[in-house]
Amino acid sequence: MATTSETSVSFEESDTRHDEMHSTIEQWIDELVDHVDDAQESKEFQEWLNVQTRFHEYSHRNTLLIKLQCPEATRVAGYHTWRNDFDRHVQKGEQAIWIWAPIIAKRCPKCKNAPSYHDQVDCEYDERPPGEWSKGLVGFRPTTVFDISQTEGEPLPELETAATGSAGDLVSRLTEVAEDLGVTVRIVKAEEWEHGEAMGVCKYRCIHSFQPVVEVKARSNQADLAVTLIHEYVHALLHFNVDSEPERAKREVEAEAVAYIVGRFFDLDTNGSAFYLAAWQNEDSEVVQDRLSRISSTAQELIEALD
């Protein structure tokens, strides 16, 4: 049986693997909710953010599964991908990491199920036979991947990043992608800054484009400026039309988390970030899972736009 121990979990029993992968994710989220404290950072949350940085293209459910089974994983791929694409081989005796893989098949245009499930749910769609249906996502199945530490063979090529130890041209790249993201951005000189101690704001729409306007205070620390821009972009993308002050406070954690992930991806030191989850108190696991999903997908969107 899988357990959320301090080290790792495993899903060795094939008969129960599917249900255990689901229940383990739910247990982790339930524990995150239970351990929210007024003045306590969540170590588990920050550890998940670190994994999400390394695997930003994965869903939040898969990064949770990777974290719980192999906390130190850095790069994962399937057995055949390691062998065929990278000329590396999984070492004998290594334990697989189980994640969810999408099932792509022909699906009913109405109920979105594969032909076999379409028949079971008594869907009445009969305009076209199943052989003429388009392919799409019909579900997920457990599949295995392995971390690079579990393989041997040819070294991987070095990945290029924006900079090492500095922001490089990240600030200019952030301003360049603003239009594509549907955001108007302004970097305001310190002597012209009108928002007190805040380092960035996202509070109104441009009268010409009707896009959310992000303003950040200019400063010599370009890494800090970049992280602030990312933080405010998240507010523009996810939170601009949220009127409830309590909900805006809850989503402040989402903005900080995305800035942490994206900043780390581009080699910025964001370890000083603190994630106070008190705003998430009394929320059920389904709501927290929605928040984790927004963090994951928004970080992916920003990384892909910049990278």
Side-by-side strand order, sheet with 200-205: 184-188, 212-217, 200-205
In the prediction, which pLDDT does 166 show?
64
Measure the CA–CA gap between 296 and 80, rounded to whole angstroms: 27
Measure the CA–CA gap between 245 and 280, rounded to whole angstroms: 13
CA 200, distance to chain mean position in Å, is: 23
DSSP string, 75-96: -EE-HHHHHHHH-EEEPTTPPP
In the prediction, which pLDDT does 55 show?
81
**Direct distance between the N- and C-terminal alpha carbons of the chain, in angstroms, rounded to an integer:** 40
What is the CB neighbour count within 10 angstroms for residue 29?
21
In the prediction, which pLDDT does 97 show?
94
Q: What is the mean pLDDT of each run of 10 residues along the chain (307 residues)?
A: 56 87 80 57 75 82 89 87 89 93 83 78 80 81 92 70 55 91 91 85 72 88 88 86 74 84 84 63 79 89 88
In the prediction, which pLDDT does 162 show?
27
The torsion angles phi and psi of 39, rounded to 5 degrees, stand at: -130, 35
Measure the CA–CA gap between 43 and 55, rounded to whole angstroms: 19
In the prediction, which pLDDT does 177 show?
92
Measure the CA–CA gap between 1 and 24, rounded to whole angstroms: 10
SS3 per-residue string spanning 195-227: CCCCCEEEEEECCCCCCEEEEEECCCCHHHHHH
CA 158, distance to chain mean position in Å, is: 23
In the prediction, which pLDDT does 197 show?
78
What residues contact residue 258 under an 8 Å CB cut-off, 6+ apart?
230, 231, 234, 295, 298, 299, 302
In the prediction, which pLDDT does 46 show?
77
- Encoded amino acid at 56, one letter: H
What residues contact residue 198 under an 8 Å CB cut-off, 6+ apart?
217
Coil, strand, or helix at residue 144? strand
- Encode burial over 250-269: b for 16+ CB neighbours within 10 A, e otherwise: bbbbbbbbbbbbbbbbbbbe
Measure the CA–CA gap between 69 and 85, rounded to whole angstroms: 24
Biggest CA–CA distance in the chain, Å, is: 68
In the prediction, which pLDDT does 1 show?
40
